[in-house]
């Protein structure tokens, strides 16, 4: 049975809880956070571990009790995509910077879905609150949860959200498919990772109509 109490830490509960799915207060907590973090790594023990912050309101969606997805926007690296293509392992983490001290981690497997994938249009419907065209959307990362746990974030500071930065949209909203592909082609670690793994497939597929 899925626990519905949600992620709430107190002085009398220092041990983390394991959840069978993302629902109730746990889902509300995840959806309310303004930032989350993704961690991936290659199979090679000497390879580069990657940790990325993810923001922008509306770029994360809970699809069902065991599935999440987030929009992967244009940037100067594609480490997450490369690691997922190689081995699929991923951890997502959220921290409470307001309210009760809480950390939630979802350990699971992830898959990058690209523009030419038949699932693209249906997945994109879950992100109606953000215009992907403003951010150079290059993939949708779909994560299947295998272990869902919370813990107490007693050392996480209080911080207040002000607003999303407008810089990413102002940089990439003027790009076309062609210019965005040229931008990716000109970067060292878009088509391949820092460790030489295949990352974003290029040339970039065109944006589907609709």
Q: Is the pLDDT of residue 65 over 90?
A: yes
pTM: 0.93
pLDDT for the residue numbered 209: 81
Three-class secondary structure of residue 34 per DSSP: coil
Q: Is the pLDDT of residue 187 over 60?
A: yes
pLDDT for the residue numbered 144: 98
Please report, rounded to a whole number, the percentage of residues in the chain having pLDDT higher than 70: 92
pLDDT bin (cut points 50, 70, 90) of residue 2 is very low
pLDDT for the residue numbered 16: 86
Three-class secondary structure of residue 91 per DSSP: strand
Average of per-residue pLDDT values in the chain: 92
* CATH T-level topology, domain 18-185: Pnp Oxidase; Chain A (2.30.110)
- Mean predicted confidence (pLDDT) in 125-149: 95
Domain ranges in the chain?
18-185
Q: Of 154, 132, 139, 146, which is closest to residue 67 (Cα–Cα)?
A: 146
């Amino acid at each position: 049975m899925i626990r519905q109490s949600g992620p709430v830490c107190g002085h009398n509960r220092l041990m983390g809880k394991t959840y069978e799915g993302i629902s109730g207060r746990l889902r509300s907590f995840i959806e309310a956070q303004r930032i989350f973090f993704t961690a991936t790594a290659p199979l090679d023990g000497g390879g580069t571990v990657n940790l990325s912050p993810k923001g922008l309101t509306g770029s994360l969606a809970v699809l069902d009790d065991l599935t999440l997805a987030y929009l992967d926007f244009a940037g100067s690296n594609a480490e997450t995509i490369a690691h997922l293509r190689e081995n699929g392992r991923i951890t997502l983490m959220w921290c409470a910077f307001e309210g009760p001290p809480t950390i939630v981690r979802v350990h699971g497997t992830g898959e990058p879905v690209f523009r030419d994938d038949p699932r693209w249009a249906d997945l994109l419907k879950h992100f109606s609150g953000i215009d992907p065209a403003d951010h150079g959307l290059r993939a949708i990362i779909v994560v299947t949860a295998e272990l869902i746990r919370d813990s107490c974030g007693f050392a996480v500071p209080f911080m207040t959200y002000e607003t999303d930065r407008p810089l990413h949209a102002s940089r990439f909203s003027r790009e076309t498919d062609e210019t965005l592909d040229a931008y990716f082609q000109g970067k060292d670690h878009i088509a391949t990772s820092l460790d030489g793994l295949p990352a974003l497939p290029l040339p970039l597929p065109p944006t589907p109509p609709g």
